[in-house]
A and B are shown apart, each in its own frame.
Chain A
C-alpha cells in the first residue's frame, strides 16, 4: 500500500488577490479525499482488529458485534480450535511453497520475455496473451476447470493440487512485476560483467539478480498475498484439506469463532511489516 501522504508545505504568507484561489482549493480537497479513501480501505480491517479483543459473555464462543469489553482471551487461546489452527498452518505452508516456486518460474519467464525475441523465442506474442488471460480470467472459471482437470486425470485433491493451482495463478503476477523492473535494465551492465571475466552464471548471480531483486521481492510478496487469502480456487481443489479461507468460510455458516479475527489480525500485521520492508528495500536499491 503506497499512498502518498499529503505533503506538508509551510503555509505561504497570505497574498491578497484571486490568483491563489485554485491552489487553496487543491490543498484542501486532495488531502481530504486521500484520507477518505484510506479510511474506506482500512475500515473493515480496523473492525476486525477491534473485535478480536471483544469479550464473549453468553452462549457459544462465537463472534458477536456488540461490544462486551476488552479481553486478551482469544490471543491467549489462539490455538484452542484444532481445525482452525491446522487450516492456518496449511495455508502458511501452501503460501510459502507456492511463492517460492512461482517466484523462480515467474522471474525466469520475465527474463526470457524481455531478452529473447524473434527466432530465439517463437510464439512470444501468444505467450504474452496467455499471461494476460491468466490475470484477466475470472477465478471461478479457472478453479472449476482445474477441478475438472484433476478429476479427469484422477489426481487426488490435497496439498499437491493446491500448490499447483496457487503457482498457476501467481506466476503471471510475478512475471509482470519482474518484467517491469527488467525493462529499465541496462544490458551494458551484463556486458561489463562478461568483460571483466564473469561467466553467465556469475553474471546472473552478481549483477542481474541483485539489480532486479526489488522486482523479484515485490513479485514474491504479491504471490504470497494472493496465495494466503485465496478462497475461490482453493475451494475447488482443496479436497478434504481446507486452507484458512476455506475453513473460515465453512465455519461462518455456523458462526465464526473469535480466533479467526486473531489470525486475521496476525496476517494483516505481518503483511504491513513486509510492505514496510519492501518500501525500505526499494528505496535503498536504486
Chain B
C-alpha cells in the first residue's frame, strides 16, 4: 500500500463526529454526552484512567455497541446503528484477536477476501502490507508461533490492508514490555504518517498519548475533561483532573481576588497573592474558589535572598531534595503546610539548595493557570497508569 491515492485524504475535513453520545449499561453510565470531532489524517488519542469509557467509545464507533442516545457520523454518513461489517472502519483489538486457525497470510487477507478483491491483487497487497509492518516472508507462519510484538504488527497489518477511512486501536501496546513498546510507538507513528489513515488510539498511558498524538482528549467518568494538542492540553489544562493526570502539577487552593483584562489575582489561603493570565483562568467570577497551578519544571528555586525574583513568588523550606542525575527534585514545604514539587535541571549553574534551607520559588506569570476544583475527589487509582 505504498500509494495512498486510493484513500482521498483531504486534511482538515471531518472524518468522524460524535454528538451527544451516551451509553449506559443497565443504568450505569459508561459514556456521558460525548461530543467529539476527529479530522481526516489525524492521529487522535483517547486518554483516561481505567473504566473511564474509552473502550466503550471505541466500540460504539466500531459498531460493536449501540449508543443509548446520540449520533455517530462517519465520513458524512450516519452510522449510529450500522452493523460493523458495513462500516469503513477497522480495529486493532487489545487482545489482537488474530484467527488461530489461519496462517499469517490468510489473517491479513481476510478483509480483502470479504470484499471479493481479485486473487492477484490480494497477494500483492498482503505482501506490500507485510513489508510495511516489517514482517516479509511470514506468510505461512501460524499466528501462535509469533512473538507478542509480531502478533501486534500482524493485527495492524490485517486492519490497515483494507485501507479503512478510520483505524481504531484499543491499547495495542499493553501486552508489550517497555522496550518493545517504545520501539513500536515510533514504528506505529511512522506507519501512520506513511499511509495517511486516521488513527483513533486508546491508551491510559499519558506519555504514549503525548508522544504520538496530533490531538488527544482526556476522559474521566465518561466525560471529556480536556481536548487539544498534547502541548496545549499539558500547558493549558482545563480542569484539575487534566492538570494532575497529564504530568504533575502543583495545585494550591485560593479565591479570585480581582480580575483585570490581562491578569487575574488569586488570593491563596496563606495570604499570598498569585497572578494568573486571565485567559488561563477557568472561572472569571470574583470570589469563586479555584485551584492555582504551576508545573514543577516551570519553577525556579533559589536560596532565600540570593537573587531578586520576578513573576509569582512563594517561600518555603526544602523538606526533601533528591538528585536524579539530569536534575534535582525538591519538595518544598510552605508555611501553610502545603507541599510544592520543583524539578530543577542539572545545568551546573547554581548551588543546589540543601534540605532544611529556606528557599524562594518563582516562575513567570504566563506559566500559571487556575482551574475549578474537581467535583469528585480524584483518587490515586485514577492517576496510576
Chain A residues engaging chain B, CB cutoff 8 angstroms:
186, 188-189, 191-199, 202, 206-207, 210-211, 285-286
B158 touches A196 (CB 8 A): yes
Q: What is the bound-complex CA distance between A199 and B110, given in angstroms?
A: 12
Check if A195 sits within 8 Å of B99, measured CB to CB.
no
Q: Check if B95 sits within 8 Å of A191, measured CB to CB.
A: no
Q: Are B84 and A191 in contact (CB under 8 A)?
A: yes
In contact, B99 and A192 (Cβ under 8 angstroms): yes
Contact of B144 with A286 in the complex, beta carbons under 8 Å:
yes
Contact residues in B for A189 (Cβ distance below 8 Å): 97, 99-100
Q: Is the CB of B89 within 8 A of A197?
A: no
Q: Which of B100, B101, B144, B162 contacts A197 (CB 8 A)?
A: B162
Verify A196–B90 contact, CB threshold 8 A: yes
- The distance in angstroms between the C-alpha atoms of A11 and B30, with both chains bound, is 60
Closest to A285 in B: B101
B interface with A by C-beta (< 8 Å): 62-64, 83-85, 89-91, 93, 95, 97-101, 110-111, 114-115, 144, 158-159, 162
Could you say which residues of chain A place their CB within 8 Å of the CB of B98? 192
Q: Which residue of B lies closest to A192 (CB)?
A: B97
Q: Given contacts A191-B64, A202-B114, A286-B144, is CB(A196)–CB(B162) below 8 Å?
A: yes
Cβ contact of B93, chosen from A192, A206, A285, cutoff 8 A: A192
Residue pair A186, B97 in contact (C-beta under 8 Å): yes
Q: Roughly how many angstroms separate A196 CA and B88 CA in the complex, as a whole number?
A: 9
Residues of the A chain whose Cβ atoms lie less than 8 Å from the Cβ of B158: 196
Closest to B87 in A: A195
Residue from A191, A198, A202 within 8 A of B97 (CB atoms): A191
Nearest Cβ on chain B to A110's Cβ, whole angstroms: 19
Kindly report which residue of chain B lies nearest to residue A213, judged by CB atoms.
Answer: B101
The 5 closest A-B pairs by CB, nearest first: A196-B111, A197-B114, A188-B97, A192-B97, A194-B84
Complex contacts, A188 vs chain B, CB 8 Å: 93, 95, 97
Q: Is the CB–CB distance between A195 and B91 below 8 Å?
A: yes
Chain A contacts for B111, CB-based, 8 A? 196-197
One of A194, A210, A211 near B83 (C-beta < 8 A): A194
Q: Which residues of B contact A195 (CB under 8 A)?
A: 62, 84-85, 89-91, 159
> In the complex the two chains form, is B100's CB within 8 Å of A286's CB?
yes
Known: A196-B111, A210-B101. 20 other contacts (CB 8 A): A191-B62, A191-B64, A191-B84, A192-B97, A192-B98, A194-B84, A194-B85, A195-B62, A195-B84, A195-B90, A195-B159, A196-B85, A197-B111, A197-B115, A198-B85, A198-B110, A198-B114, A199-B85, A285-B101, A286-B144
**B residues less than 8 Å from A186 (CB atoms):** 95, 97
Kindly report which residue of chain B lies nearest to residue A284, judged by CB atoms. B101
With both chains docked as a complex, state the minimum distance between the C-beta of B109 and any C-beta of chain A, in angstroms: 10
A186 to B95, CA, bound (A): 9
Give the interface centre of B89, B93, B97, B100 by most chain A CB atoms within 10 Å.
B97
For A207, list chain B residues within 8 Å (CB): 99
Distance in Å: Cβ of A152 to nearest Cβ of chain B: 47
Q: Among the listed B63, B101, B115, which residue makes an inter-chain contact with A194, where contact means beta carbons less than 8 Å apart?
A: B63
Contacts of B95 in A (CB 8 A): 186, 188
Residues of chain A contacted by B114 (CB below 8 angstroms): 196-198, 202
Set of chain B residues within 8 Å of A191, measured between Cβ atoms: 62, 64, 84, 91, 93, 97
Smallest Cβ-Cβ distance to A196: which chain B residue: B111
A284 CB → nearest B CB, Å: 10
B-side contacts of A192, CB under 8 Å:
91, 93, 97-99
Q: How far is the CA of A129 from the CA of B64 in the complex (A)?
A: 32
A195-B64 Cα distance, complex, nearest whole Å: 9
Sample (9) of A-B pairs whose CB atoms are under 8 Å apart: A186-B97, A188-B95, A191-B64, A191-B84, A194-B83, A194-B85, A195-B84, A195-B89, A285-B101
Distance of A191 Cα from B93 Cα, bound (Å) = 9
> What is the chain A residue whose CB lies nearest that of B114?
A197
In the bound complex, do residue B101 and residue A196 qualify as a contact, i.e. CB atoms below 8 Å apart? no
Distance from A131 Cβ to chain B, minimum over Cβ atoms (Å): 28
* Residues in A neighbouring B85, C-beta threshold 8 A: 194-199
Q: Return A216 CB to nearest CB of chain B, in Å.
A: 13
A119 to B133, CA, bound (A): 44
Q: Which of B62, B85, B93 has most chain A Cβ within 10 Å?
A: B85
CA distance A285 to B95 in the complex (A): 20
The smallest C-beta distance from A280 to any residue of chain B, in angstroms, reads 15
Task: Evaluate contact between B101 and A211: CB separation under 8 angstroms.
Answer: yes
Q: Which B residues touch A196, using CB under 8 A? A: 85, 90, 110-111, 114, 158-159, 162
- Specify which of A192, A194, A202, A207 lies most central, judged by the most chain B CB atoms within 10 Å of its CB: A192
How far is the CB of A41 from the nearest CB of chain B, in Å?
A: 34
Q: Tell me the smallest distance from the CB of B100 to a CB of chain A, in Å.
A: 6
Across the two chains, which residue of chain A brings its CB closest to B168? A195
Question: Shortest CB–CB separation between residue B67 and chain A, in angstroms?
Answer: 17
